[in-house]
Amino acid sequence: MTIVYSSSYDLHNMEFHVENKKRTDAIMETLRILDLKIVEPKSASPDDILRVHSQSHLDYVKGFAERGGGYLDYDTYMTSESYNVALLAAGGAIMASKVVLEDGGWAYSVARPPGHHATRDRAMGFCIFNNMAIAIENLRKRGSDHFLIVDFDVHYGNGTADIFYDDPNVMYISIHQDPRTLYPGTGFIDEMGAGEGMGYTMNIPMPPGSNSQDYIWILSRIMEPVKDEFKPSMVFLEAGFDAHKDDPLANIKVDEEFYTWIGSYFKNERVVAVLEGGYNLEALANSNLKFVKSLMGLESPIEDEVKASNPVKDVFARIKDKFSEYFRI
């Protein structure tokens, strides 16, 4: 029951931007009522970053911060401190994974900037380095392998998917709003991996308006057979909370019921969670409280029958058809 958090994340602060320090402030203020171990991360080293990212990307981001920062692209902003804070965020994910590797249970890196849009050589979508991919490659250096990633941010984690797209030892499942209607415009069902990694990327594009029942219904039918057949040594959760009905950046309508369910579903696994999106502060705080309490076994989902809309059932049928040769969904 470990939270990896540093107040230094506040240095990467843009009050004018939705991805600002109030996000982690809101989460930590809410989580302090729980009996949690809170540890301070160490910064990732350049060598840690280079296990995932190119030298040119590392040099460019560092130089951009040294020149004072600004917009890397139309929505990704850096301050003069952002390079150092991004190293700290990557280091938080590394520390969380080490805690779980050594002690079991779960750990949660509450860090910013987020990471799942960052590709090997590009920062985008508020993300500078891919925190989770860096943590996974650090574990591989230690001899651990065979990881399941479940990304429930409302946006497709294009960076994480791209990094592991041809890797049969990393199963990446992303549930996100239909990319025809939302950034980054990729994450379709037929994006299934490449080479030896074919079948190890699974996208679940959800129709706008999908709710907690839809999410629980489809994930419960997909994750159990995948988990049983893939047999991961560790589960990584790219924990985005911007699918919440009150979030301003998307059109999915889940509520705290879903975050309770997903935490409860994985509570008996070795789990590393890494914070991604979530931009309505009240919804972000309440959802994190439910998520963490359910990981702790203090909160359980409602036991009622779960139903899904017909469009979501259609999405499931298409996934089942595409992946039938890989998993017994």
Just list the catalytic residues. Answer: 117
Tokens linked to 23: 């996000």
* Cα 241 from Cα 246, distance rounded (Å): 10
Q: List residues bridging with 212 in a β-sheet.
A: none
Give the distance from CA 88 to its chain's centroid. 17
The token pair that represents 77 in the structure block? 């902003």
User: Virtual CA dihedral for 156, 160, 161, 162, nearest 10 degrees?
Assistant: 120
Chain-centroid distance, C-alpha 286:
18
DSSP 112: S
Beta strands in the chain (DSSP E): 2-4, 37-39, 70-71, 77-78, 106-109, 147-151, 170-177, 201-206, 234-239, 271-275
Angle between helix 256-265 and 212-230 (nearest 10): 10
Closest CA to 110 of 45, 178, 217, 28: 28
> How far from the centroid of its chain's Cα atoms is residue 36's Cα?
21
